[in-house]
Structure 1
Amino acid sequence: MPGTVGRVPTPSAPAPGAAADWDVTGSASAAVLAHPWADTPLGAPEGWDPALRAVVDLILASPVPMALLYGDDLVMLYNDGYAELIGARHPEALGHPAAEVFADLWDDPGTGDVLRRAYRHGESFLAREAVLPIHRHLPEGTGEPVFTRGHSPVRDSAGRIVGVLTVAAQTTQLTDQLQSLSDFAAALSGTLTLDDVARVTLRYCLDAFDADRVSLAVDEGSAWRMVRRLRGELLDEADERLPPLWRRMTAESPFPVVTTARSGVPYFATDGQPLREHAADRHDEKVRAIAALPLRSSVIRGALTVGYQVAHTWSAAERALLAASAELIGQAAERARRFETQHGTAQLLQRSMLPDQLPDLPRLRIAARYEPGVDGNAAGGDFYDAFVLPSGALAVVLGDVAGHDLRAAARMGQVRAALRALALSDPRPDAVLAGLDRLVASLGVESGTHELFVTVVFGVIEVDRRTVTLASAGHPAPLIRRCPPEGPPVAEYVDVPPGAPLGLGSRPPTVTVPFAPGDTLLLYSDGVVERRWQGLADGLGGLAAALSGANSGDPRALCAVATAAVPGATEDDVAVLAVEHAVKPSRSAGMEVPAEPTAPSRVRHWLTAQLTEWRVPESVIGAAVLCTSELTTNALLHAGTAARVEIDLSAERLLVSVADSGTRGTVTRAQTDTLSSRGRGLGLIEELSDAWGTDPTVRGSTVWFEILIPAS
C-alpha cells in the first residue's frame, strides 16, 4: 500500500475514558486507545451502547481492514488493516468525519453517496473487484489495488442505525494472477518444444504464485524426466537460451510430481516435509507445503508442482488457478510432443544430408551454420558443402531448394549429391551448374511439375593462385571480407552474374576474383538477408556492415555474425558457409571429455598446459580456461554424455569449442554440486570472450567462443 502508517506510542495506562479491559495491540489500536473519544460524537467509551461496543471489539480484533463511521458526521474509528490501507491519512483520520478525511474523493461515485445511503436508509452495499478510490499518487508502473468492499448499517441495542461498518478485502493478487494466466497462455502458444514449455512454465509459476520451488515432470516411456526451478536462482539471458536441466527419475519414483503424473490425481500438502524422504538436496528438504497437479493430455503424461518453504493453505481460488495452469501446460506439452516427433525426424533427415565434417586444411579455415525457419515447419531445402577436388583446390557450394517439407529436403539431398559428382568430374563452376540445370529439369519432368525452384552458388578456391572462381544460378551474390594491410576490414559483394535458377536451361557465366591471405568468403541463403517488412537492399547492406565491423575474419565467428546481422525473425531457413584464407597455418588440438564430475578439472589442466606450451599470453589463458570449464560443465549437465573440446590458435585469435552428442543420459552421480553454477556460465563467457555462439549439429550442439590475441 502506498503511504506510511503513522506510529503512535502505546500509552503506559489507558487514556481517560478508555475501557481498561480492551486487549488490543498495534499502532492503530494504540491510537484508538489514546484518542479522546469523549470530545467526539461517539462519547466516552464507558458510555457506549453494548451493541456498539461489540462492533468496536470486532473491528480492533480483525486482521481484515475494517472501519466504523459513526453518527450523522460519520466519524471514523478503524483497525490496523484499515490504517495501512489509507496510508498517510492515518492517524489524523481517527475521530474525524469521513467527509473531511476523504474530502478529495467524497463526491466520487461509489464513495460518499453509498455511505450516506447505508446510514440514512439502512442499505447494504457490496462492490466486487472494485478500485478503492483512496490512492491518488501511485508509483509509476503500478496498477490500482483492487478490492471487494462492503458497507452495512450498524444498529444499537434498540435497533436504531448509529453508523456504518466498512470492510475492504484486497483481491489485487487474484486479479493479477488471472491476468498473468492470460499472459501465460499467450506465451505457451508460442512454444514449439518441451524445453520451451518448461522454460515458460517455470518462469510463470514462480512469479504468479510467489512460490519457492516449481517443478515439471513429463513421461519418457518407461521413466520420467523432471525439471525444477527455485526462487533466487540466477539465470541470465544467455543461460535462458540453454536447454533446461532435466533430471531422470524412475518409473516408480515416490516424488509427488511423479506420483501425481502417474495417478492423475491432484495432491495438496499444507504443512510438513512432503519431499523429505526423497529430497535431492537441501532445497527439497525445506519445502513444507506443496501442490501437485496432473497435466491433462492424451499423448503425454506429466505433472506440475508448486511449493513453499512455509505452511500454506490452498484456497479454492488458488486450486482453480493451478488447475487452469496445468490444463494449459498439458495442451502445450501435447503440441510440443507431437511437434518434436515430426520435427525431430525431419530435421535429423535434413541434417544427415549435410556434411558431418568440413575439410581441415592448413591454409583454409572453414565453418558453416544451418538454422531452421522459426515458423515451425519440419524441414527445408537449404544446403551447403565443402570438399577437396582432385587438383587440391577447395570446392564450396550453398544452395536453396524451395519448400519446407520432406520433399524439399529429399530434393536437396539429390542436388547436393549430384553437384559433388559433377564437380569431381569437371570442377569448372559453369560446367557444374549446367549439369545441375539438366538434373533439376529432369526431376521436374519426372514429378510432373515445373514449380521446382532451386538456386545455387558454386565456387572453387585455389590457395596457390590466391583466387576464387564463382558461378551463380539465381542465388544472392557471395561476399568477401577483405583485410588490407592498411585500414580497417571491408566487406564487399562479388560482382558475379546471378544467372537463372536451375532447371530453366541456362549456363551461368563465371567470375574469378582475388582471394588473398586474411580474406574470408561468405556464402549465404536468402533467409539471412530477406525480411518481409524491408527491402532486400537493406538486408544486404546490414550484412556487409556487420561483417566489416566483426572483430576477426574467423569463419565460425562470421557465421554467427551473419545469421544475426539483419534484425527480426525470418520464416525461412538460414544457411551460411564461410572460408578464411589464413595468413599463417593455425595450431589445433582436441580432448575427449568423459561424462563424470572430475572432467572440468581435467580439461582445465590440459588446456592450461597446451596454451602455455604454445606461448599464449597469460591473460588469454586465464580467460580461456575459465570459459572452457564452464562450457564443459554445461555440456555434461545438459547432455549427460561425453563431450569433445577443440582448440584452434591463429596469430590473431584463440577459438575454443565444446561439442556434445545431445542425448539426455545421466551424469555420474558423485557430488554434482561441485560442478560450477550454470547460472553464471554463459554470462562469464559473454564477458570474457570477444565472440561466442552455439551451433546445432546432426546430433547435439556445439558451443564455442573466440578470444583475440593482443598485439605484442
Structure 2
Amino acid sequence: MPGTVGHVPTSPAPIPRAASVGTAALVLGHPWSGTPLGPIEQWDPAVRAVVDLVLASPVPMALTLGTEFRLLYNDGYAELVGAAHPAVGRPAAEVFAGIWSLPGIGDLVERTFHEGTPTLEKESILPIVRHGTGRVEQAVFTRGCSPVRDSDGRVVGVLTVAAETTQVTEQLQSLSELAAALSGTLTLDDVARVALRYALDSFDADWVAFGVDDGGGWRIVRRVRGELLDEADERLPPLWRRYPDDSPLPLVVTARTGVPLFTADGQPLAAAATDRHDQKIRALAALPLRTPVLRGGLSVGYQRAHAWSAAERALLAASAELIAQAGERARRFETQHGTAQLLQRSMLPEHLPDLPRLRIAARYDPGVDGNAAGGDFYDAFVLPDGRLGIVLGDVAGHDVQAAARMGQVRAALRALALTDPRPDAVLAGLDRLVASLGAEAGTHELFVTVVFGVIDAGRGRLTLASAGHPAPLLRRCPTPDAEPTAEYLDVPTGAPLGLGCRPDTTTVRFAPGDTLLLFSDGVVERRRQSLSVGLAGLAEAVAGAASGDPRALCAVATAAVPDATEDDVAVLAVEHALMPSRSASMEVPAEPTAPSRVRHWMTAQLSDWRVPESIIGSAVLCTSELTTNALLHAGTAARVEIDLSPERLLVSVADSGTRGTVTKAQTDTLSSRGRGLGLIEQLSDAWGTDPTVRGSTVWFEILIPPD
C-alpha cells in the first residue's frame, strides 16, 4: 500500500464499542482495500488511534486521509455530510462538491495537510440537514483542523473538529435586536412585552417572567410557551400580578437581594406556584434588574433539567442589564408623562353632552414625545337656547405653559359663547384675549388656532368660524344604504388668534345622517409628506368608514394617515343621528362574578330592545371579554355602556386605570384573556381604545343590517 497512511502488518484491530451501529460500522466495514489507502487493518497504529478517537467521540469529527482526502467521520459529523451520507471512503472534494472550493472550506483542509500546521476557523457557515425536520439550514461552526501523522512523523491526513455555534451566534444577534427593540419602549408595559418576547424566543424557554418593585410589593407579568396571545391582545396592558415584598418567588428574592439565582433541576417555584404552569418548571434562572430608580427581576424557566452554561449566564446578565436600563427610562418617563397628561386631561371635558339626536365623541392622543403637556383642546357644551357649541383648537407649544394657556382659552371661549354664541363674535373676543396674554408675557410668539361652531339640530344647520385652523370635514350619509361621501367645508380660515383675527362665518346644512369631524393638524401632517396627501387620506378613510358613529370615526381619523406624528392629536366628532338612540349602563364591581353579571344584564337589555339574536350573542361575548380584561389589568370597578341606534350597537367598557389589587382568586377565575381581543376583531365591525381622564376605555361597534 502507498505510504500515505503507513503500512504496518498487524492482526485485525479491535472494533470500538461504538462501532456496532451508525457511521462507525460504515467506516470499519468499508472496502478500504479498493482505495489507495489499503485495508484498514493494515493502517499505521497512530492513524488507527485517531480513527478510534473519531468514531468514539460525540463531538462532530471527520478524518480525511491521503492526497485524495478520502473521508471518514462519526455520527456527529453526519449532519454536515447531509444528503451525501453515507459518504465514507469518498474524496472530500467530491462529497462536498458544492462548497469545497469556497474560501475557508476545502482550502483550510488542504493548507493544513501540505503545511503540517494546525489551523482554526472561528466562524464557518455550513449547510446542514436537521434531524427530525429534514430542513436544510445555514449553521455556524467553529472548525479546527489538525495534521494527522503516522508513526514516522509524516502528515498522512487531517482531523477536523467542528463545534456548532449557531445558537450562540443567534443569541448574540438577538441581544442586538433586544437593544434595538428596547430603544423604542416608553412605558414599563412596553418593556415587559419586549423582555418577555425576547426571553421566550432567544432562550427557547418554557416560562419567562418580568417584575418590578411597586411600592411595598412587586408586580410581575409572565409568559408561558404555547399560551394563546394574539396581536390584538398585545394592544392592552400586560396582565400584571402582585406579590408581597417578602414573597419566596425566586424573581422577588433576586430583585430584593441583587444576587442571581440558578437552579439546574428541582422545583424552584414550588413555594410560590400559582398554577400548573409554575409547578411544571424544573430549571430556573433569576437575574436582578438594578438601577438607581428601579428594582426588579427577569426569570427564565424550563420544564426539563437544564445546566446553565457560563455562556448562557453571561448572555442572561447582558440581557438583564439592557432590560434594567430600559426599565429605568420607562419609570422616569411614566412619572413625567403621568404628571403632564394628568394636567392635560384635567383641562379637557371629562363628559360630553348626551343629547337625543346628536351623538358626540372626542379623542386626544399625545405626540411622539408624550412626556409634556400640549396645547390641543376640544369642548362641546349646550348653549342656553338648546343649541350645541363645539370647538377644537391648538395652542402652540408642548409644555406646562402651553397647557395653562390652553385652559385659559378654552374657559374664555365657553364664557363668551354662553353670552353671545355667534361664532364670529366668540373668536373676535378670543382674539383680544390672546393678544392681551401675549402682551402680558412680552412675546409675539403666542400662536393659537381654533375652529368654533354652533349646531342647530332642530333646523338642521351648522354655523362655523375659523381662526387659522384646518377646515372641518363633513361626512354625509342620508340613508343607511346610501354611499357615504366626505368633503371639507369651505370655511374662511382667517388669521390665528392674537393677530387681529376678523373671522367670517359659514352656515351649511347638517342633516340627519351627517357627521362633522373637527381635528388638529397632528392628524394630517407628517414629515416629508405633502399636507394635501394627509388631507386626502383622512377624507378617504372617513368616507369609507363602516358607519358615521362618532367614536368609530375618531378612531378612523387618528389612524387614517400612515406613520407616526410628532404633534398632539385631537379629534371631535358629532353625528346628527337618523333616529334617536337608546342607552343603558352598568357599574361593574371588581369581583370574579362580574363578567357573568354583565352577560345576564346585557342579554336581558338587548332582548328587551329586540336586537337580533345573532348580534346579541356576539355583543355579549365581546363585552364579557372586555369586562374581564378591564378587571384584570386595572383591578378596579368598571363601567359598561351600551348605545343602540337603528344602524349600529356601540358598547364601551371603561376603567379607572389605577391598577388596584386583584386577588389571586380573581386572577385565576378571570382567565379568558388568552383568547383576548381576537374575538372582538372577528365579531365586531370596529373597535378601539380611548384614554380618559382617569383611565382607559375599550369599545366596539357592531353594525345592524337593514330589515
Candidates 273, 281, 297, aligned match of 1:303: 297
Candidates 516, 520, 533, aligned match of 1:521: 516
Could you report, residue by residue, the CA deviation over 1:579-605 in whole angstroms, capped at 9, with x for unpaired residues?
111121111101111111211111111
Q: What is the match of residue 193 of structure 1?
A: 187
1:255 and 1:74 map into 2 onto residues whose CA distance is 58
Change (3 A) 1:540 1:21: closer
Change (3 A) 1:133 1:275: closer
Q: Which amino acid aligns with 1:503?
A: G
Query: Which stretch of the first structure deviates more once superposed, 171-180 or 365-374?
Result: 171-180
Deviation at 1:700, TM superposition (A): 1.1
Change (3 A) 1:650 1:171: same
2:16 and 2:22 map into 1 onto residues whose CA distance is 18
Q: Is the 8 A contact 2:82 2:128 kept in 1?
A: no
Q: What is the match of residue 7 of structure 1?
A: none
Deviation at 1:36, TM superposition (A): 2.4
Deviation at 1:612, TM superposition (A): 0.5
Q: Which amino acid aligns with 1:706?
A: E
Q: What is the match of residue 7 of structure 2?
A: none
Deviation at 1:115, TM superposition (A): 2.0
Q: What is the match of residue 630 of structure 2?
A: 635
Q: What is the match of residue 203 of structure 1?
A: 197
Q: What is the match of residue 3 of structure 1?
A: none
Q: What is the match of residue 313 of structure 1?
A: 307
Q: What is the match of residue 427 of structure 2?
A: 433
Deviation at 1:294, TM superposition (A): 1.3
Change (3 A) 1:134 1:551: closer
| Residues 328-477 of structure 1: pairs in structure 2 closer than 5 A | 328-477=322-471
- SS of structure 1 residue aligned to 2:51: helix
Q: Is the 8 A contact 2:367 2:568 kept in 1?
A: yes
| Residues 220-239 of structure 1: pairs in structure 2 closer than 5 A | 220-239=214-233
Q: Which amino acid aligns with 2:109?
A: L
Change (3 A) 1:509 1:104: closer
Query: Which stretch of the first structure deviates more once superposed, 296-305 or 450-459?
Result: 296-305
Deviation at 1:26, TM superposition (A): 4.8
Deviation at 1:134, TM superposition (A): 8.1
Q: What is the match of residue 532 of structure 2?
A: 537
Deviation at 1:366, TM superposition (A): 0.6
Deviation at 1:42, TM superposition (A): 4.3
1:695 and 1:196 map into 2 onto residues whose CA distance is 18
TM-score (normalizing by structure 2) = 0.94
Deviation at 1:545, TM superposition (A): 1.2
Q: What is the match of residue 23 of structure 2?
A: 28
Q: What is the match of residue 604 of structure 2?
A: 609
Q: Is the 8 A contact 2:213 2:294 kept in 1?
A: yes
Q: What is the match of residue 11 of structure 1?
A: none
Deviation at 1:493, TM superposition (A): 1.4
Q: What is the match of residue 656 of structure 1?
A: 651
Q: What is the match of residue 12 of structure 1?
A: none
Q: What is the match of residue 592 of structure 2?
A: 597
- SS of structure 2 residue aligned to 1:702: strand
Q: What is the match of residue 78 of structure 2?
A: 83
Q: Is the 8 A contact 2:229 2:676 kept in 1?
A: no
Change (3 A) 1:675 1:25: farther
Deviation at 1:143, TM superposition (A): 7.3
Change (3 A) 1:673 1:220: closer
Q: What is the match of residue 285 of structure 1?
A: 279
- SS of structure 2 residue aligned to 1:295: strand
Q: Is the 8 A contact 1:627 1:681 kept in 2?
A: no
- SS of structure 1 residue aligned to 2:89: coil
Candidates 687, 701, 704, aligned match of 2:699: 704
Deviation at 1:542, TM superposition (A): 1.3
Q: What is the match of residue 8 of structure 1?
A: none
Change (3 A) 1:494 1:26: farther
Q: Which amino acid aligns with 2:96?
A: F
Candidates 541, 553, 556, aligned match of 1:558: 553
Q: What is the match of residue 5 of structure 1?
A: none
Kindly indicate whether residue 690 of structure 2 is the aligned counterpart of residue 695 of structure 1: yes
TM-score (normalizing by structure 1) = 0.94
Deviation at 1:653, TM superposition (A): 0.6
Q: What is the match of residue 568 of structure 2?
A: 573
Q: Is the 8 A contact 1:457 1:471 kept in 2?
A: yes
Q: Is the 8 A contact 1:630 1:676 kept in 2?
A: no
Query: Which stretch of the first structure deviates more once superposed, 50-59 or 243-252?
Result: 50-59
Q: Which amino acid aligns with 1:678?
A: R
Kindly indicate whether residue 578 of structure 2 is the aligned counterpart of residue 583 of structure 1: yes
2:16 and 2:554 map into 1 onto residues whose CA distance is 80
Q: What is the match of residue 9 of structure 1?
A: none
Deviation at 1:40, TM superposition (A): 3.3
- SS of structure 1 residue aligned to 2:665: coil
Candidates 169, 172, 196, aligned match of 2:166: 172
Q: Which amino acid aligns with 2:245?
A: A
Q: What is the match of residue 13 of structure 1?
A: none
Could you report, residue by residue, the CA deviation over 1:594-619 in whole angstroms, capped at 9, with x for unpaired residues?
11121111111111111001000011
Kindly indicate whether residue 262 of structure 2 is the aligned counterpart of residue 272 of structure 1: no
Q: What is the match of residue 647 of structure 1?
A: 642
Q: What is the match of residue 613 of structure 2?
A: 618
Q: Which amino acid aligns with 2:377?
A: F
Q: Is the 8 A contact 1:41 1:75 kept in 2?
A: no
- SS of structure 2 residue aligned to 1:51: helix
Q: Is the 8 A contact 2:340 2:371 kept in 1?
A: no
1:341 and 1:143 map into 2 onto residues whose CA distance is 47
Change (3 A) 1:107 1:711: closer
1:26 and 1:672 map into 2 onto residues whose CA distance is 54
Structure 1: gaps (5+ residues): 1-15
CA RMSD of aligned residues (A): 2.0
User: Aligned pair count?
Assistant: 692
Q: Is the 8 A contact 1:26 1:80 kept in 2?
A: no
Deviation at 1:386, TM superposition (A): 0.6
Q: What is the match of residue 215 of structure 1?
A: 209
Query: Which stretch of the first structure deviates more once superposed, 674-683 or 685-694?
Result: 674-683
Q: Is the 8 A contact 1:595 1:668 kept in 2?
A: no
1:57 and 1:113 map into 2 onto residues whose CA distance is 26
Deviation at 1:513, TM superposition (A): 1.0
1:243 and 1:267 map into 2 onto residues whose CA distance is 28
Change (3 A) 1:134 1:110: farther
Q: Is the 8 A contact 1:235 1:679 kept in 2?
A: yes
1:111 and 1:545 map into 2 onto residues whose CA distance is 58
Could you report, residue by residue, the CA deviation over 1:500-546 in whole angstroms, capped at 9, with x for unpaired residues?
10001222011111111111111111111111222111111111111
Could you report, residue by residue, the CA deviation over 1:420-470 in whole angstroms, capped at 9, with x for unpaired residues?
111111111111111111111111111111101100111111111111111
Deviation at 1:104, TM superposition (A): 4.1
Q: Is the 8 A contact 1:153 1:163 kept in 2?
A: yes
Q: Is the 8 A contact 2:81 2:96 kept in 1?
A: no
1:280 and 1:54 map into 2 onto residues whose CA distance is 56
Change (3 A) 1:524 1:30: same
Q: Is the 8 A contact 1:17 1:44 kept in 2?
A: no
Q: What is the match of residue 40 of structure 1?
A: 35
1:71 and 1:262 map into 2 onto residues whose CA distance is 63
Candidates 665, 678, 684, aligned match of 2:673: 678
1:379 and 1:498 map into 2 onto residues whose CA distance is 26
1:117 and 1:521 map into 2 onto residues whose CA distance is 79
Q: What is the match of residue 234 of structure 2?
A: 240
Kindly indicate whether residue 233 of structure 2 is the aligned counterpart of residue 252 of structure 1: no
Candidates 487, 496, 499, aligned match of 2:491: 496
1:569 and 1:317 map into 2 onto residues whose CA distance is 39
Query: Which stretch of the first structure deviates more once superposed, 213-222 or 660-669?
Result: 660-669
Query: Which stretch of the first structure deviates more once superposed, 58-67 or 581-590?
Result: 58-67
- SS of structure 1 residue aligned to 2:59: coil
Structure 2: gaps (5+ residues): 1-10
Could you report, residue by residue, the CA deviation over 1:282-304 in whole angstroms, capped at 9, with x for unpaired residues?
11111111111112311111111
- SS of structure 1 residue aligned to 2:294: coil
2:663 and 2:591 map into 1 onto residues whose CA distance is 5
1:133 and 1:645 map into 2 onto residues whose CA distance is 57
Q: What is the match of residue 6 of structure 1?
A: none
Deviation at 1:194, TM superposition (A): 0.7
Query: Which stretch of the first structure deviates more once superposed, 581-590 or 227-236?
Result: 227-236
